[in-house]
Amino acid sequence: MGRASKSPHPTRGRPGRRAALPVTAAALLCVLAACSDGGGPSDPGPTRTPSGTTGGPTTTPPGTAEGTGPAATAGTVTPGTPDTESPVTQSGAAAPRCHTSDLRARLGRPSPGAGQRNFPIVLTNRADRTCTVRGYPGAAFVDADGRQLGPDPRRSPDTPAPVTLAPGASAWAGLTFASPEISGARTALPKELLVTPPDERDPLRIPWTAGEVPVGGNESSVFLTILQPGTGG
């Protein structure tokens, strides 16, 4: 018998050297850029809340206890200055909404302007828990019989943000109108200013002692801003 010939093929089962996988340019770029699971940053969408909390010039009446109350609409003037020392934080933290019964309302210190009257409407948390307000309050001037004087205020085009109120902390919204002596608007003398917190139906009553307000004619619009931290003075 002759000598067995060697097989022309390598022996199976012998471990071979595994070829390294190539690193693609896209993979390297992802490492350097710290890619997110979603493939890129997410864009926050617009938010909308009822009863005076949207950022646009839409009208949503907040109502009153009897179902007939003020409704805020769109404006442009921002009176007053935020109180940076107030123990209020502005954030998206989940906190219970402030109800009318949690708050008390007052007019803050007026801020004079060129031919304008500016008043901060101040809402203070009188409850023993933290709560949140967001957007526009409702506001209306009423006479001694409770009848509304003039149209609803117009809203400023601001973007609402939650204002978290610890017990005793305050938020304010600016109420402003042209001085009737200068504008020549038709006026009336209110008995009270009704203020309805955002998303609520029951109003808070503020005695009005600041004189006549415009209710008709040229330059008679009253403007209202969003709530922001502090007392506006």
Domain count, the chain: 1
Residue 183 is inside which H or E element, if any?
A: helix 180-183
Judge whether 18 lies within some domain: no
CA dihedral 78, 79, 85, 89 (to 10 degrees): -30
The DSSP 8-state label assigned to residue 198 in this structure reads T
**Which of 2-6, 195-199, 229-233 is predicted least confidently?**
2-6
Judge whether 37 lies within some domain: no
How much is the pLDDT for 206? 97
Global pTM value: 0.61
Judge whether 27 lies within some domain: no
Judge whether 12 lies within some domain: no
Judge whether 1 lies within some domain: no
The parent domain of residue 166 ranges over 88-228
Do the beta carbons of residue 107 and residue 119 sit within 8 Å? yes
213-216 and 186-188 beta bridge pairing: antiparallel
For residue 180, pLDDT beyond 60: yes
Radius of gyration of the chain (CA): 31
Judge whether 11 lies within some domain: no
Judge whether 68 lies within some domain: no
Identify which has the larger pLDDT, 47 or 146.
146
72-131 confidence digits (pLDDT tens): 333 333 333 333 333 444 444 568 999 999 999 999 998 877 889 999 999 999 999 999
Assigned token pair, 118? 């500016």
Q: Residue 155 sits in a domain of what CATH number?
A: 2.60.40
